[in-house]
Structure 1
Amino acid sequence: MITLNEAEAVDIGLSSVEGKNENEVFQALDSLTGIAEGFLSENEEADARRVILSISDIAQAAAQEKMELVTINSVLAFGKLARIAAKKGYGSILNRTIVETGKLGRTAASSSLEAGSKVAATTMMEIWNHSSPEKKDQEEMVAFSLLLRDIGSAAAVQGMEEALLNAINCLGEVGKKVASESLEAETISTLLLLEEIGNLAAEKYFDEALSSVALSIEDAGKLSFKNKLHEAVLQSQWALETLKIQAEEKALINSPIVTEMALDSFKFPGVRETGESIGKLQEIKELQKKVYSSL
């Protein structure tokens, strides 16, 4: 395959998406990925970031044109670059690949590209696992969860329950991870997003997805109690109570039982609502708005 220079690759990539010439788009993306790898190996972070954004531009255009194989190829390219960035200790590049993968997954889901959206969410988790939560700042972790929420929400709107379930599972893993690290604000943020997706699942009558949300909330809540994150425990209870009502109102089959059983496991003494609980919840919602506006 011919290797293109950066400017050629960007031009050919975008024009080939417009012309739906899949082979030429692949050529452009492969060239750009190789160029980004070269910049990373030469410690040229700014140049690598620029090329990653160019890959994202082409990938976004391809996803909007429903070019699923190109979308998946782009996600895998981000994953490859993330692994290199992690080895080199380039946290900002690692975070950029997460954000661009999440945005691409959201577009893929909005375009009804089920495989593309699932690969994006799974790849995000793989990239996330290249560094532990304590090495990420709070806003990065909140952004990560917001993007997974977006993928799940877009999948739900398009009626893709499998893709929604995949996003829920990923978000649930994040919830468990941050709760196990005693990161209360990040845990509450994830619980809020799980509740949001759960409400959407109920609206779409996705019984299995709503049950999965309830189980994810239960897992994060139990870890929160174990680590004395009382505000997160309260949020788990509130979310499950809300979702139980939603499941019952929609006359779903399994999720009312699952949410009720999950709630039964939250009869913890000494965990009560306070004015501070409400205030902290509002602070986290404001943080989510701030982070989302910068994505």
Structure 2
Amino acid sequence: MFSKEEDKMVSMGFNSINEGFDEGVSKALNFLTEIGTDYLNERKEPEAEKTVVSIKEIGKAATLQGMENAAVNAIRALEKLLQCSIEQNTQDTTIQVLLSFGAIGKIAAEQQMETVAKLAASVLGKSGNTAALLNNERETMAVIIGLGEIGKAVTRVKFPNLSENTAICISCLGDIGKLTAQKNLEEAAVGVELMLQEMAAEAMQENLQDTVRSIAGSIEEVGKKAEDENMESAVFQASSALQTIVSYAGSKYLNDASIAAKIALESFNELDIINDEDNIKNIEAIRETMRALWVNSK
């Protein structure tokens, strides 16, 4: 449980948001960051995670109120806790922080607060590369989920063509996907492909042809890297995602996107695409794990 002082500061944060008072929000966030850091240094992980949740909720509320500075400050506060959590090797808290970036960034994208969404996505992209390099698959998966949720939200806003934030999410996911394939983190590689496929579905719904083409290219790159590493499930998911794009984009008369996905699909060796029950089960299990992780973090 929080102390009375902590409860007081959390209440101050929310009250300040209701009043549009940036300084009050900043004061609350600074206090929570300091106390959260203390908890982590003392290895009090449950208390630290509660602090992370409070900062996340303040950040989400600030974003919904259009308070950009407060939302940015919440992300910066979470960054400090992320660094401390990594140093203390408190993985559950690290994952909680990473998912929090996704939660704030998703709302920012929906509210068309591009600076906040961009910051959240950029922090996640950097964190994902680091986690993958260190073979931290659970942390990498949290990053993938966060980036995917921001990416889908940005795509739904109906920007003409390919927006900067959409491009950032696609690029970050693609880079992480290639790295995870190279590091033989197959679940994470499949996770990237699943998120890119979901982004493509949103883009096709909004007739964003350039976005779909870019996503198809990223899926191909991840899938080809997985093919090099003999990762059956990742290769199958890449080919399946591209086939879905070919069919659906064609039905939406997104001809350029459909052709791009078809060319990407043809780059795979048919013998490497093993469509068997085990691969399908593996992919569905990964999808369900990701869904549960995101739902439980909200």
TM-score if structure 1 supplies the norm length?
Answer: 0.87
Aligned residues: 290
Matches of 2:240 and 2:232 in 1, distance apart?
12
The 1:25–1:215 alpha-carbon spacing in structure 2 relative to 1, beyond 3 Å, is: same
Equivalent residue, structure 2, for 1:156: 155
Asked whether the equivalents of residues 86 and 131 of structure 1 are also in contact (C-alpha less than 8 Å), the reply is no
Any conservation in 2 of the 1:151–1:167 contact (CA below 8 Å)?
A: yes
> Which residue identity does 2:66 align to in structure 1?
K
Partner residue, 1:191 = 193
Counterpart AA for 1:60? K
Cα distance between partner residues in 2 of 1:270 and 1:34: 51
5+ long unaligned stretches in structure 1:
none
SS at match of 2:271: coil
How far apart are the structure 1 equivalents of 2:53 and 2:37?
Answer: 14
Q: How does 1:85-234 map to 2 (within 5 A)?
A: 85-132=85-132, 135-136=135-136, 138=138, 140-160=139-159, 161-234=163-236
Hey, what's the Cα distance between the residues in 2 that align with 1:186 and 1:130? 13
Deviation at 1:254, TM superposition (A): 4.2
Please report the RMSD computed on the Cα atoms of aligned residues, expressed in angstroms: 2.4
SS at match of 1:131: helix
Q: Distance in 1 between matches of 2:176 and 2:190?
A: 11
Instruction: Confirm or deny: 8 A CA contact 1:142 1:291 kept in the other structure.
Output: no
Deviates more, 1:161-170 or 1:223-232: 161-170
Q: Are the aligned partners of 1:79 and 1:127 in contact in 2 as well (CA < 8 Å)?
A: no
Retained in 1: the 8 A contact 2:193–2:237? yes
Q: Does the CA contact (< 8 Å) of 1:98 and 1:128 recur in 2?
A: no
Q: Percent identity?
A: 27
2-structure distance, mates of 1:144, 1:270:
28
Partner of 1:83: 83
Go from structure 1 to structure 2 and tell me whether the alpha carbon gap of 1:90 and 1:285 turns closer, same or farther (over 3 Å shift): closer
Give me the whole-angstrom Cα distance separating, in 1, the residues matched to 2:101 and 2:221: 26
Partner of 2:12: 12
Tell me the equivalent position of 1:30: 30
1:135 and 1:233 mapped to 2: Cα distance?
A: 20
Which one is further off, 100-109 or 126-135? 126-135
SS in 2 for 1:36: helix
Cα offset for 1:7? Answer: 3.7
1:90-148 Cα shifts (integer Å, max 9, x gaps) = 2222222111111111121222212211211111223334434665355x544432232
Q: Which runs of 5+ in 2 are unaligned?
A: none
2:255 corresponds to 1:256: no
CA distance in 1, matches of 2:55, 2:289: 29
Measured in 2, the distance between the counterparts of 1:131 and 1:16 equals 35
Q: How many angstroms apart in 1 are the aligned matches of 2:269 and 2:135?
A: 34
Matched AA of 1:205? N
Q: How does 1:39-78 map to 2 (within 5 A)?
A: 39-78=39-78
Q: Deviations over 1:43-102 (max 9, x none)?
A: 443333232222122111111112122112211221122112212222222222111111
**1:60 to 1:198, Cα distance in 2 relative to 1, 3 A:** same
Q: In structure 2, how many angstroms separate the alpha carbons of the residues matched to 1:80 and 1:215?
A: 34
